[in-house]
Amino acid sequence: MALRVMALRIMPLRIMPLRIMPLRIMPLRIPGPFKKKLTSARVARLATMDGRSPYLVPVCFAFDGKHIYTAIDKKPKKSRVKELQRVRNIRVNPQVALILDEYDEDWSKLWYMLVRGPADLIKDSERDRSRAIQLLRRKYPQYRMGLLADDSQVIRITPEKIVCWGKP
């Protein structure tokens, strides 16, 4: 039995120059009717995750054209602010989802908007915090009547992806 040996010819590797494209950060485009709902809707649901399981809670919110703000107000809570599940979850995993929707028996009127992006807890020293509290007080009369303290914890959501469906 004869062994056959094959010779391999190794060709030089041609390295193509890498084209680096400049990073362009585009503002999210939100269709007009949905943008109106984002500013006028009274309640949304905030979904957070701690790495094991999702947590969903209804929230009041305000949109300034760039960020969505929600605060920990003075409504009765089972836990202190630092121990609230949504706050703990954001510290562990800042990726959140916020959903606004409207149900109607006439299904031609159904719509929803799903916003995804990172959330952070605004520090006491940040200017955004007082601006967010002003926006929330402007939108909700209950907050103007004292349910939102000047030192309330504020969550800032930076939308990275928005999915819209239906006809608001």
Per-residue pLDDT at 73: 77
CA-wise closest residue to 43 among 68, 60, 64? 60
* Residues paired with residue 157 on neighbouring β-strands, in sequence order: 68, 119
Question: Residues 78-104: pLDDT tens digits?
Answer: 655 567 899 999 999 999 999 999 999
Q: Taking the model in full, what pTM does it have? A: 0.79
Give me the pLDDT at residue 121, please: 94
Residue 66 to residues 12, 30, 89, 107, 149, Cα–Cα distance (Å): 51, 11, 23, 31, 23
Q: How far is CA 98 from CA 25, 59, 120, in A?
A: 22, 9, 14
Mean pLDDT (whole number) for 54-79? 86
| pLDDT the model gives residue 102 | 93
Domains and CATH numbers, the chain: 32-166 (2.30.110.10)
Separation CA 29–CA 55 (nearest Å): 28
Cα distance between residue 14 and residue 10, in whole Å: 12
- Mean pLDDT is lowest, of 16-25, 71-80, 97-106, 124-133, for 16-25
In this predicted structure, the answer to whether residue 76 has a pLDDT above a threshold of 90 is no
